[in-house]
Amino acid sequence: MRLLGRCLLAVAMLIMASCAVWANEPDGEYLYAPPFQVGQRFLVVQGFDGERSHTTPLSRYAVDLAIPEGEPVCAARSGVISDLYDGDDESISHFVHIEHEDQTLSDYEHLQKSSITVKVGQAIKQGDCFARVGNTGNSTGAHLHFAVLHRQGFLLQVFVSKPFRFLGKTNGIIPEYLTWIENPVVK
């Protein structure tokens, strides 16, 4: 019985370790279009491992883009709207989640109240705009919080962020602090 317990513990530790390694690797299969309109350029004001507010597994690999309030927010990858909040309470971050074919989600936060134009279950294509930048939820000013999330765990699944890269003139731009991100992508 003790041997069985040790074997199960060893298997569980291997599975957890493999999940942790996978979660920390950049999403090499997909490059994400910057989540704003073509021809625009915005500054990353908090990058991966940002000390101000990106300190949990859910936000560790999130980025904050300094985009003025009211600017359009566009899909970084094609997918289906899996969740959103566009209620009356501006103390809660208004958000949209887009689920992609590989079961990752792109997460768009702090959207302007009443600006979301999509519904859960709706398909969306990369580059389609669906909301506007706002200042809702835990936010000190208008900006777009963007992350790529995946489910981790077996029985109790939780979302964690994972590193990603933006498409650019030189593909594979890692969105580091004080990096300018341009959207040269043509739909």
Q: What pLDDT was estimated at residue 18?
A: 40
Per-position b or e across 113-152, b if 16+ CB within 10 A of its CB: eebbebeeeeebebbebbbbbbbbbebeebbbbbbbbbeb
pTM of the model: 0.82
Residue 157 has pLDDT above 90, yes or no: no
| 16 backbone dihedrals φ, ψ, rounded to 5° | -65, -40
Higher pLDDT pick, 149 / 168: 149
Give the domains, in start order, of the chain with CATH numbers: 2-182 (2.70.70.10)
- The whole-number average pLDDT for the span 53-72 is 92
Q: What pLDDT was estimated at residue 13?
A: 42
Confidence of residue 186 (pLDDT cuts 50, 70, 90): low
pLDDT in tens, 97-151: 999 999 999 999 999 999 999 999 999 999 999 999 999 999 989 999 999 999 8
Helices and strands: H and E segment counts in the chain: 1, 11
Q: What pLDDT was estimated at residue 37?
A: 95
pLDDT in tens, 1-43: 454 444 444 444 444 444 443 444 445 567 899 999 999 999 9
Q: What pLDDT was estimated at residue 127?
A: 95
